[in-house]
Structure 1
Amino acid sequence: MKKFKTLLLISVIALLLINDAKAQSNLITNVLNRKTISLNGTWQYIIDPYETGFYDYRREERNANDREAYWNTDKFDNKTDRKEFGFIDKYAIKVPGDWNSQDEKFVYYEGTVWYKKSFDVDLATSNERVFLHFGAVNYKADVYLNGKKLGMHKGGFTAFNFEIPKTLLKAKDNFLVVKVDNKRSIDEIPTINTDWWNYGGITRDVNLVFVPQNFVQDYSVQLAKGSYAGKFKTIEGWIKLNTKGQENVWLEIPELKIKQELTINGDSVAFSVKSSSLQLWSSKTPKLYQVIIRTKNEKIIDKIGFRNIEIQGGKLILNGKPVFLRGISVHEEIPNDVRRAYSYKDAQHLLGQAKELNANMVRLAHYPHNEYMTRAADSLGIMVWSEIPVYWTIDFKSEEVLAKAKTQLEEMITRDRNRASIIIWSVGNETPVNKERTLFMSRLVKKVKEMDQSRIVAAALESFGIQGVQTIEDPLGEFTDIVAVNQYIGWYGGLPDNSRKVSWATKYDKPLFFSETGAEGFSGLHADSLTRFSEEFQEWYYKEQVGMFKRMPANFAGLSPWILNDFRSPRRNHPVYQEGWNNKGLFDHNGKKKKAFYVLKAYYDEMEKLYDK
């Protein structure tokens, strides 16, 4: 009885925390399907490495009336005015996009760039509220409209928005300025040291979003956990309005003949509906349903799939059947153009490459990718691991850094909680094993479970052994749902055939997943298999790894090798075989398949047949 009361108390506390987490975020979801005006296109810019437009010569932040503040108008009132800055078309840049790929002078630049966009807006619909929404800005964004600060956001890979006061918005000649700062810092997420290119800029879409006075800010529509068997399946969730009050809201799924009227008292309402004809989402059948949420003043349409992912007996179970994750890790980069990926076309290209490999899963490394990526994965039936950039050695003792990590988790989950493709939320990658780190990371795991109990929680751990029994006993494995580990036997230790001397075990009765493995292969360099950096060495590495995969214990649930494409990294400085590139890709800089691609694809073809029996 005491145990039952304890479990009941834990459940009640969890529900309260879920409600708290739901209420904290002010992010508007499903912006792609709302009334918007795009502010994408050409913006003017000023490079400001000394941050002159933000600080005066005493290093004090300029005040709102300072004529030398770059967010104030740069127009002259008369010929005696002294102005030492200005935005002109000579200095123009494309949004969305990183600045590094748009002009040679930006390639290695880390610092402040001011962006400016002028726009007009039809204010005839004066009863609507207007929000300024950014898909992402790397890393810190200070946003000003017509000389007034709307707000500040930190985090280079998550969406954010600010409401625009109606008294501030004009019909003509609005003056939007964004101070973008991508400098790395020891107390940020990620920290100073990473193994990818620090692309700066307004890297994702910018939109004005128009909504009624009381609007649907967020919602969750998912298959109830465990509801995948039997004739009737349960869809459950909640709908949250922006302000409190009493209002009716309708949930409709026309194809399932579901139409339910709900009454909101406060700001949110929960619902539960049953269907006897629901088709589950899977990699083979990525079925999406049109879901409509409607109030008297608003109609929101989304496409949502319904599936169940869980752990049973040390195995990963999708819709009641064991699933093997034929994965690949992916950076948000188009190597052919040496730039950050930013469009739906880019997402289709990257996921199309994954499909060529016969992958059914991608690990989005090492940060949340564009919303186009997760929506494309929904349509293509590709399962997704989505991760925040708690990477390597951040300050695990800092409550401030923990708060930043939690905010990025919240923003990631809030945007994508209705994407069926996402089966794993990850709280970080390759973090060092110590008491402070384990506490820090376990608190992130707890945060995920407070917000979403319908998915698996993971973190990419590390293994450095190259022979004998490799027992994964990282204490963080106690908190995650699967034991995911990065191993590079034969690249960062020994030779590829060392994998013949290795066997694997875990301290925890959970699925084992290789979140990374790989070796560099310089495209076009052909030699014997012992020549490191050659395509033949990379091919040998994968052959030996595949041999090891076939000897794995029964709880082996899959892998996401490192990586789909070669990508840019300042850490990689071999003057012949790297020159600022990490060449572990199965596709090279120009989209050509390397020899190792075919080794992994053959293994994935074999595993597909085995699990489709």
Structure 2
Amino acid sequence: MRFLIVFILSCTLAFSQENNLINVYNRDQISLNGDWNYIVDPYENGFYNYRYQPFENSATPGKAAFFMNSKPENESDLVEYDFDSSDIISVPGDWNTQKEKLFYYEGTLWYKKSFNYQKSKDDNKVFVYFDAVNYQADVYLNGKKLGKHIGGFTPFNFEITNLLKQKENFLVVKVDNKRKKEGVPTLNTDWLNYGGITRDVRLVEVPENFVKDYVIQLNPDDNTQIKGFITLSGKDIAKKKVELSIPDLQLTKELITDENGTASIDIQVKNMIYWEPEHPYLHKILIKTTTDFIEDQIGFRTIKTKGHDILLNDKSIFLKGICLHEESPINKGRGHTKEDAKQLLNWAKELGCNYVRLAHYPHNEHMVRLADKMGIMVWEENPVYWTIEWENKDTYKNAENQLIEVIDRDKNRASVIIWSMANETPTSEARNLFLTNLAKKTKALDPTRLISAALEQHDYKDSKVIRTIDDPFAEVVDILSFNQYIGWYDGLPEKCNDISWKIVQDKPVLISEFGAGAKHGFHGDNLTRWSEEYQANLYTETLKMLDRVEQLRGFSPWILVDFRSPRRVLPEIQDGYNRKGLISEKGEKKEAFDVLRKYYEQKK
């Protein structure tokens, strides 16, 4: 495979701004987390006038525009809102579980945070960085529009250097989580549409000339060669020295930037320590210029396929996995803390997993950073879910931009081995083109990882007992993944005994989902729906069935923990939760947890 990483983030997209800062996780920063004032605005009166014209289109928006944070100038002055006397909400966090009246609210909330800021050096630049806002964010500082971001699970930032004051800055964010037909994801999902500023917000100060981007990876075709680049941003960035150090390899390399400020990396290394689940070694990486210094922790490994095998560092592996949603096992809302991620990954390790599928959207950065340290391989997924507007050009740009942003954030994480394009999407000419274009973009951005998608299984040549994958996109992916629910949506668990599989593609097979619902503490026989016994029996029968798939190289059953979903309304059983978890929302393990754990103990 040719090693070529080209980040095409400067292209003009309706849903994007200039490149995000790289490695904010390890940069000096000032947190804007904490209490923010908020206003509920279902009619968007703070954004539009009574003729439904945006205030921001006017040279003088006036006091009615909420982003102006106006105050009455005298006792006769009319201003019909006041952030400072409005209610308080915690950031990061969803509004659904913080405010009972907003549990199912879909619409606009305005957030406001006031702060002071003193730069450490006059010519430094300052950015405001959002880890994620669901779904659309319009961002203003001191009454001026910074920009817009669409997509609820990826980071974005804006430079605020020229608008920043030492005292009494006010940051206003209009957050709109309404589901949209043209959105990504679209109207119909199987999880709660949490709204709000759901991840961290910080101010990041960097030198005028700073390290803008870098990729430091192994060449997939030569695991003794480190390849990549380092790019600078600022003035006079051509022919500048950049020092790359990897202390534990006793490696220091001086690089010189080209006319675009990019320095190529091409280094042969002896005695490389490779990252793998049993020994997730991370190398300290130091990048130094005359003005900037940045540190990262990067694992070196190769991931590829050969025939039916998935090869990690040229050794065949079996992916013992589980699916995860980004719900907090601690606070019961949208997960966002390192503690949330650690609890979920610790449960996965207890289950015997070496791999997790992050469904159905990019999760927070804590998850992949911890997976790096804990030796857990990761499937990351773009939220192209079920049926979206395949022929809508803006929908495609939206999906592509969200994919670009997660790849940009996580491209140096050793744990990430699979980029997933979609989940359970019905085949059509427009859909095939949509996903194929996403796959091409992904390979152009990052050819060091594998591409997959959660496809659907079908009957083989009208047989009712032989299943196959009949999908043109199966020819595009590196790993053939599909969801199947034989024994739950398709017959009873005993049907697993009758089903066989005819997989014609010469690729490794990964079962991206299987499972059954069960209410913790509800018991019955093996045929009693919703009982722990039914779920455990289905796991037993499914595992025996899947072992008969010749190309099987892993699976990620659905799902680790019960999670909220408005689709799941059965009283006293679901109560607004999808019950396919192996652990309840209260942290209680069901019988099927041990069934899968024992299987993984025996699986090499």
- 1:41 match: 34
TM-fit CA distance, 1:246:
3.0
Q: Give the Cα–Cα distance (whole angstroms) in 2 for the partners of residues 363 and 212 of structure 1.
A: 37
RMSD between aligned residues: 1.5
Q: Which amino acid aligns with 1:192?
A: L
Match for residue 227 of structure 1?
222
* 2:526/2:537 contact within 8 Å kept: yes
SS of equivalent to 2:180? coil
Letter in 1 for 2:588: K
Question: Retained in 2: the 8 A contact 1:467–1:499?
Answer: no
For residue 478 of structure 1, what is the aligned residue in structure 2?
Answer: 475
1:558 aligns with 2:554: yes
C-alpha contact 2:382 2:422 (8 A) present in aligned 1:
yes
Write the distance in 1 (CA, Å) between the matches of 2:198 and 2:332.
14
Q: Pick from 307, 310, 314: which aligns with 1:313?
A: 307
Larger CA deviation: 64-73 vs 360-369: 64-73
Give the secondary structure class of the aligned counterpart of 1:223. Answer: strand
What pairs up with 1:564-579 in 2 under 5 angstroms?
A: 564-579=560-575
TM-score, structure 1 normalization: 0.94
Amino acid at match of 1:478: E
Cα distance in structure 1, aligned partners of 2:274 and 2:185: 36
- Equivalent in the alignment of 1:3: none
**Partner in structure 2 of residue 156 of structure 1:** 152
Instruction: Tell me the equivalent position of 2:203.
Output: 208
Q: Which SS does the other structure have where 2:52 is aligned?
A: coil
Pairing 1:414-563 to 2, within 5 Å after superposition? 414-463=408-457, 467-553=464-550, 555-563=551-559
Local SS of the residue matching 1:410: helix
CA distance in 2, matches of 1:135, 1:239: 23
- Pairwise CA distance, 1:468: 1.7
Listed as ranges, the gaps of 5+ residues in structure 2 are 12-17
Deviation at 1:440, TM superposition (A): 0.6
TM-score, normalisation: structure 2: 0.95
Determine if the alignment matches structure 1 residue 282 to structure 2 residue 273. no
**Alignment partners' CA distance in 2, 1:126 and 1:143:** 24
Q: Name the amino acid aligned to 1:218.
A: D
Q: Distance in 1 between matches of 2:120 and 2:341?
A: 36
Contact (CA 8 Å) 2:458, 2:470: kept in 1 or not? no
Structure 2 counterpart SS, 1:246: coil
**C-alpha separation between the residues in 1 aligned to 2:115 and 2:366?**
25
**1:170 is aligned with what amino acid?**
K
Check conservation: 2:328, 2:336, Cα contact below 8 A: no
8 Å Cα contact 2:322/2:348 also seen in 1 = yes
What is the match of residue 54 of structure 2? 61
Q: What residue identity is the alignment partner of 1:84? A: E
Query: Which of 132, 137, 145 is the equivalent residue of 2:133?
Result: 137
Instruction: Identify the match of residue 380 of structure 1 among 370, 374, 379.
Output: 374
Q: Per-residue deviation at 1:506?
A: 2.0
- Aligned pair partner of 2:246 in 245, 253, 256: 253
Q: How far apart are residue 248 of structure 1 and its match?
A: 1.1
1:360 partnered with 2:364 = no
- What SS class does the counterpart of residue 352 from structure 1 fall into? helix
Task: Name the SS for the 1:71 alignment partner.
Answer: helix
Of residues 81-90 and 181-190 in structure 1, the stretch that sits farther from structure 2 once superposed is 81-90
Distance 2:523 2:492 in 1: 18
1:572-591 paired onto structure 2 within 5 Å: 572-591=568-587
Counterparts of residues 79-158 of structure 1 (less than 5 Å)? 79-88=75-84, 91-158=87-154
Residue by residue over 1:333-371, the C-alpha shift from the partner in whole angstroms, topping out at 9 and shown as x without a partner, is 025532011011111111011011010000000000000
Does residue 73 in structure 1 map to residue 69 in structure 2?
Answer: yes
| Large movers: runs of 4+ above 4 Å | 22-25, 464-467
Distance 2:507 2:263 in 1: 35
AA matched with 1:451? L
Q: Which amino acid aligns with 1:184?
A: R
Q: Distance in 2 between matches of 1:372 and 1:355?
A: 16
1:398 deviation in Å?
A: 1.2
AA paired with 1:277?
A: N
Letter in 2 for 1:342: H
State the distance in 2 between where 1:20 and 1:311 align: 24
| Contact map agreement 1:122 1:171 (CA 8 A) in 2 | yes
Which string of whole-angstrom CA distances, capped at 9 and with x for unpartnered residues, describes residues 157-188 of structure 1? 0000001142x211011011000000000111
Looking at structure 2, the residues matched to 252 and 106 of structure 1 have their Cα atoms a distance apart, in angstroms, of: 50
Separation of aligned partners in 2, 1:509 and 1:87: 60
The Cα shift of 1:510 comes to 0.5
Is this contact kept in 1: 2:458–2:469, CA < 8 A? no
Deviation by residue 1:546-574 (Cα, 9 ceiling, x = unmatched): 11122221x21100000000000001111
Equivalent residue number for residue 15 of structure 2: none
Q: Residues of 2 paired with 1:590 and 1:488: CA distance? A: 25
CA gap 1:23/1:274 in 2 versus in 1, 3 angstroms: farther
Corresponding residue of 1:4: none
- 8 Å contact from structure 2 (residues 539, 595) kept in 1: yes
Question: Any conservation in 2 of the 1:336–1:589 contact (CA below 8 Å)?
Answer: no
Deviates more, 1:145-154 or 1:58-67: 58-67
SS at match of 2:239: strand
The SS at the match of 1:269 is: strand
Q: Deviations over 1:299-331 (max 9, x none)?
A: 000000001100012210111111000010000
**What is the rounded CA distance, in whole Å, between the counterparts of 1:328 and 1:561 in structure 2?**
5
Which amino acid is the alignment partner of residue 371 of structure 1?
E
Query: Counterpart of 2:14?
Result: none
> CA, structure 1 residues 594+20, in 2 after alignment: closer, same or farther (shift >3 Å)?
closer
* Deviation for aligned residue 1:111: 0.4
Provide the rounded CA distance (Å) in 2 between the counterparts of 1:551 and 1:594.
Answer: 26
Alpha-carbon distance in structure 1 between the residues aligned to 2:214 and 2:85: 41
Structure 2 Cα separation of the partners of residues 604 and 245 of structure 1 = 53
Q: Which amino acid aligns with 2:73?
A: D
2:272 counterpart of 1:268: no
The CA distance in 2 between the partners of 1:336 and 1:65, in whole Å, is 43
SS at 1:445 equivalent: helix
| Contact 1:473 1:507 (C-alpha < 8 Å) held by counterparts | no
Indicate the larger mover: 219-228 or 45-54: 219-228
1:273-352 aligned within 5 A: 273-335=267-329, 337-352=331-346
CA contact (8 A) 2:351 2:597 kept: yes
Judge which range, 320-329 or 331-340, deviates more: 331-340
The 1:451/1:490 distance shift into structure 2, 3 A limit, reads same
Q: Secondary structure at the match of 1:340?
A: coil
Equivalent residue, structure 2, for 1:186: 181
Query: Which runs of no fewer than 5 residues in structure 1 stay unpaired?
Result: 1-6
Q: Of the candidates 7, 15, 19, which is equivalent to residue 26 of structure 1?
A: 19
**Equivalent position amino acid for 2:112 in 1:** K
Note the C-alpha offset of 1:463: 1.8
Matches of 1:559 and 1:277, distance apart in 2: 33
Point out the more displaced range, 32-41 or 356-365.
32-41
Q: For each residue in 1:213-271, what CA deviation from the matched residue of structure 2 results, as whole angstroms up to 9, or x when unmatched?
A: 1211111011111333xxxx111111112245331111110110111111112221211
Asked whether the 8 Å contact 2:139–2:145 carries over to 1, the reply is yes
Partners of 2:423 and 2:120 in 1: CA distance: 49
Aligned residues of 1:467 and 1:498 also touching (Cα < 8 A): no
Q: Distance in 1 between matches of 2:360 and 2:48?
A: 33
Aligned to 1:237: 228
Residue deviations 1:506-543, cap 9 Å, x none?
Answer: 23111111000010001110011111111111011101
Does structure 2 conserve the Cα–Cα contact (< 8 Å) formed by 1:249 and 1:263?
yes
Q: Secondary structure at the match of 2:342?
A: helix
